[in-house]
């Protein structure tokens, strides 16, 4: 191996090892799926049958699929001891700012003043239980330094703008919340509970979110699907 290729290979190998250790450190239900995800990261074109497509509709589920990509991690996956994942991580297999994201269901979009990479959409009537309100949270729409990839139609400070399902929201990015410390390029989406007073709860706590499986018509709960990458049959 020539010196230039060797120098390049070291950080790539370290990054891959870091991804694997990060997602398997908890030991539990995520490990089997993680091995498949890591293999896919090495060659995103290798498993086309695992790739979901933008606006796909599964069975009679009410939500359309919000982006293109592989569903790498699902609701209630465990990345480390004590951690429970509150949503879905969908990896486009592309560079930052390439893979589009759309609204999965109609509602009223808000982007708070300090949100660089995030929007949330209020759904006044949950399609599965119309008596309750839910919120659909989309994030990582910025580059590693926090430069937004959210649609310019929704600047910071946007409040309660109605959007239809399929409305363009932005592009997949790799912003982690800490400039210069990127994550893999993906969309994180979660379905968040209302606090009973018309506000969304903190989506970082899984107890504040709903299992997305019936909304998308796929096995997206890690306890019922401990080891496979979900796809729309």
What pLDDT score does 127 carry?
A: 98
Q: Label residue 19 exposed, middle or buried (CB < 10 Å: 0-12, 13-18, 19+).
A: middle
Buried b (16+ CB within 10 A) or exposed e, 20-32: beebbebebbbbe
Name the β-bridge partners of 52: 69
Provide the 8-state DSSP code for 12: H
For residues 220 and 230, is the Cβ–Cβ distance under 8 A?
Answer: yes
Distance separating alpha carbons of residues 216 and 46, to the nearest angstrom: 25
- In the prediction, which pLDDT does 233 show? 67
Around Cβ 228, how many Cβ atoms within 10 Å? Answer: 13
The rounded radius of gyration (Å) of the Cα atoms in the chain is: 18
Which residues of the chain register pLDDT less than 70?
1-30, 79-80, 233
Residue 8: predicted pLDDT: 38
**Angstrom distance (rounded) from CA 144 to CA 166:** 26
């Amino acid at each position: 191996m020539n010196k230039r290729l060797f120098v390049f290979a070291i950080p790539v190998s370290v990054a891959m090892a870091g991804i694997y250790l990060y997602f398997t450190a908890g030991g539990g239900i995520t490990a089997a799926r993680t091995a498949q995800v890591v293999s896919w990261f090495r060659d995103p074109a290798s498993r086309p049958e695992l790739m979901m497509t933008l606006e796909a509709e599964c069975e009679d589920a009410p939500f359309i699929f919000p982006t293109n990509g592989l569903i790498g991690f699902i609701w209630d996956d465990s990345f480390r001891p004590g951690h429970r994942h509150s949503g879905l991580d969908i990896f486009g297999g592309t560079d930052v700012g390439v893979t589009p994201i759309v609204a999965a269901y109609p509602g009223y979009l808000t982007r708070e003043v300090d949100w660089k990479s995030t929007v949330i959409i209020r759904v006044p009537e949950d399609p599965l239980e119309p008596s309750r309100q839910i919120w659909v949270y989309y994030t990582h729409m910025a580059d590693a330094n926090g430069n937004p990839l959210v649609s310019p139609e929704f600047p910071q400070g946007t409040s309660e703008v109605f959007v239809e399902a399929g409305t363009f929201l932005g592009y997949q990015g790799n912003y982690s919340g800490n400039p210069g410390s990127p994550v893999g390029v993906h969309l994180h989406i979660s379905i968040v509970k209302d606090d009973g007073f018309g506000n969304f709860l903190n989506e970082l706590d899984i107890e504040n979110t709903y299992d997305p499986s019936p909304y998308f018509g796929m096995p997206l709960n890690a306890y019922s699907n401990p080891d496979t990458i979900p796809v729309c049959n």
